Amino acid sequence: MSRVFKGRVITPGETTAPALVSHGGLNTLASYQMALMFGDKQVKCGDQNNPDLYKKPMLGKALCLPETIGSTTGGMVLYTACAMGKQPACMLFSKPIDSLAASGAILAANWTNAVMPVVDSLGEEFLDYVKDGMTISVSLDGTVTVDG
């Protein structure tokens, strides 16, 4: 069974990847700092305050979340992850995007060769429906298809 959600494109791209779902805000610095600094190949989430993601690999996943929270290094961390090829396959926000996640996505789009589609405003229903491991396809126009 598949369901289709339509959001707003922040940075365009197409991808298909398994879902990784955070129901709480993603603290970008807390999630990425250790993995990036010490070369964790799977980029496991280091945020002990996020029970949905803690210790789970984030590399190449379709990261589904409401928003990002925390330190204003957040956008810089996402940019760095993208420049190092350690980014998620895409970031899919149920809410309108926050300033830190937007910064990271836009910096990556303009200053790196990485492609990380980012779509926001997918609605609460999207986060209620999607579960870890479901297959997600993202289209250029912000259409997100969830299979599983």
Partner 1 sequence: MILTKEQQALLDGEQGETMAKVVKTLVMYGEAFGAERMVPITSQYGHTVISFGIGVMKPVYELYDQLLAAGAVSKQPFSADPRPLDKNIPSSLLQNIVFKFMYSQQAHYENQLRQLGLMDKNAYTCACYLPQAGNVPKRGEILSWAESSAVVYANSVLGAKCNRNSGIIELMGSIAGFVPEFGLLTDDGRRADWIVEVRTSKLPDAQLLGSAVGMKVLEKVPYVRGLDQWLGKELSEDACAYLKDFGAACASNGSVGLYHIEGLTPEAVEAGESIIRENAPVYVVDDAELERVRQSYPCIWQDLDATPKLCFMGCPHMTLSQLKDWTVRVEKGLQAAGNKKVLIPTVFTSAPGVVKEFNRTAYAARLRATGVILSTICPLMYMNNPLSKKMPVITSSNKLRTYSSARFYSEEEILAKITKEGK
Q: Minimum distance between the CB of residue 99 and partner 1, rounded to whole angstroms? A: 5
Site string for partner 1, 9-28 (x = CB under 8 A): -x--------------x-x-
Least distance to partner 1 from the beta carbon of 5, Å?
A: 19
Q: Using the rule CB under 8 A, is 140 a contact of partner 1?
A: no
Q: Give the nearest distance from C-beta 3 to partner 1 in angstroms.
A: 26
Residue 15 backbone class (left: φ over 0; alpha: ψ -120 to 50; beta: rest): beta
| Phi, psi at 66, each rounded to 5° | -80, -45
Q: Site for partner 1 (CB under 8 A): how many residues? A: 40
58 touches partner 1 (CB under 8 A): no
- Should residue 59 be labelled a site residue for partner 1 when binding is judged by CB under 8 A? no
